[in-house]
Amino acid sequence: MFHERRHLTDFHSSRIGHVVTDVLVVGSGVAGARAAIEAGASADVILISKKDFPAGSTRYAQGGIACAIGDGDSADAHIADTIRVGCGLNRRTVVEHVVRAAPALLDELMSWGFAVDRTGGRIALTREGGHSRNRVVHARGDATGLELSETLQRRIRSIRSIRIFEQCFLVDLVTIDGVCVGAITHHVKYGHQIIWAQRTILAGGGCGQVYRETTNPSTITGDAVAAAYRAGAVISDIEFVQFHPTTLYIAGAGRALISEAVRGEGAHLVDRAGLRFMPEHHPDAELAPRDVVSRAITRHMLATRTNCVYLDARHVRGFPERFPSITKLCAEFQIDVSRDLIPVRPSAHYLIGGIETDAAGATSVPGLLACGECACTGLHGANRLASNSLLEGLVTGSAAGKSAANAARSASRATTIPLVRHESARSDRTELDLSDIRNSLRSVMWRNVGIERTAERLRETVEILDFWGHYVLDKTFDEPAGWETQNLLTVARLIAVSALARPESIGVHFRSDAPSGAPPALYHTRCRRGDSDRVERSP
């Protein structure tokens, strides 16, 4: 069923509304916004946002933007850190391009009003896990993502060639003879419509909601990756899902991020007895790469039979000024950061793999581009270096927007609306409890395809997902909750199948059943619809 379903909804182009543009951008986080800005300089653009604009994970980002501009730092050092943390699976040309583009893009952002934090008139730089230098630029203390979102929002609203469609859900991509020509969308007010575009850019974020515990907002359900997969795009390295080591653990509450920068400023991880445990796991202790810290926390919780560990930031001077949002968040749960320990545990945070693209955002489907978290450029390798994600969104968004606009300008718009249609066989199954399916899916993925994995549990997961898929994917829904559930199932299965196909441990993909001491092989996994369970390997 996962390989058979091409469209999630029935449609006929002669019976629904149409909108025509040069470039369609799906997603309004950092990558989508930056793509729209770049494309809007020379082309007509429609940007669709799943909820109100801006949406996505960007505004929740606390850490910052990695940029090698400090004394004693260099692009070469940033490149080396990125590749070391990525376990050498990175595509070096992409790493070099992204890292070297950072200073100019930061200058551009500041010219648009992006207000970075400063110390003594100089840009303040902090250090985070995996970095060998202080090189993370931040804003509003720990609200960098919010400042960035608002900066890009102001810029977009000043460009008349960009139209914004809010509350607009990507249902599927439209292809004719294998070429992407736009998308079927569902608007909260106008219902189904087809947006025809010379080029379509996917910037819809990751898929954190496939896991029971995640830092991602509830809207991050893998829609872009699933739609691209159904359209025939190659999905690469999707088994690599990064878990953030420190999210606030309050029973019954959502998993709010406690920034990596807290440890960068000197906070320690301790157990309930107040004892540090990270120095015994890695020379960099709390500033080890995220996969190392997440596994260490998980194992310590298991060994001590506890639900969490703690961040001790009581000795960090000026904590409320440096981390105002975190201080406020903790206070809501009667945690005084100046005298109390902060309970934390890992949560799913970032999709490293995704839709395979080149440096300009091109996918394996002509007419379709992707950027940001939903794309897999090879920048991160097997593990993402902290604060490289906002940087990636800026660089890849800019590149995709420029490429799409150039291609759209050289193409001629169709004078008639193409006739496209899809009708699926109606399922006679009864109504489904979508909430129950989603909760069950998230629990299975958390238990079996989380921080530590085994072949036995991965096979069990694939069998469970196949069973659910038979009665969920054969239904045709008419509202986003159903489509989101189908997307979550699709992406979850891609993660599980790809994880099963990589028997070695590398980066965030840790196989506890892998032979001890076996060096990981450096290859990329690739899969596409129609290939059944075949996962290819490529250099």
Three-class DSSP category at 189: coil
Three-class DSSP category at 71: coil
Do residues 480 and 438 lie in contact, with contact meaning Cβ atoms separated by under 8 Å? no
User: What tokens does 248 get?
Assistant: 């606030």
Question: Residue 513, Cβ neighbours under 10 Å: how many?
Answer: 13
Tell me the backbone φ, ψ of residue 476, rounded to 5 degrees.
Answer: -110, 110
Q: From residue 350, how far is each of 129, 217, 243, 390 by CA, in Å?
A: 15, 12, 7, 12
Rounded to a whole number of angstroms, the distance between the first and last alpha carbons of the chain is 30
- Of residues 91, 255, 290, 457, which has the active-site annotation? 290
Do residues 366 and 178 lie in contact, with contact meaning Cβ atoms separated by under 8 Å? yes
Q: Please choose, from the candidates 157, 162, 82, 52, the residue with its C-alpha nearest in 3D space to the C-alpha of residue 389.
A: 82
Pairing of strands 118-119, 65-66: unpaired
- Alpha carbon distance 520, 359 (integer Å): 25
| DSSP string for residues in 467-502 | HHHHHHTTS--SSHHHHHHHHHHHHHHHHHHHHHT-
Q: From residue 153, how far is each of 114, 203, 368, 498 by CA, in Å?
A: 11, 15, 24, 36
Q: Please choose, from the candidates 93, 94, 102, 110, the residue with its C-alpha nearest in 3D space to the C-alpha of residue 75.
A: 102
Q: Which residues are CB-contacts of 537 (< 8 A; sequence separation ≥ 6)?
A: 501, 523, 524, 525, 526
Active site residue 290: yes
Q: At what angle do helices 144-157 and 30-40 cross, to 10 degrees?
A: 20
- By annotation, the residues acting in catalysis are 290
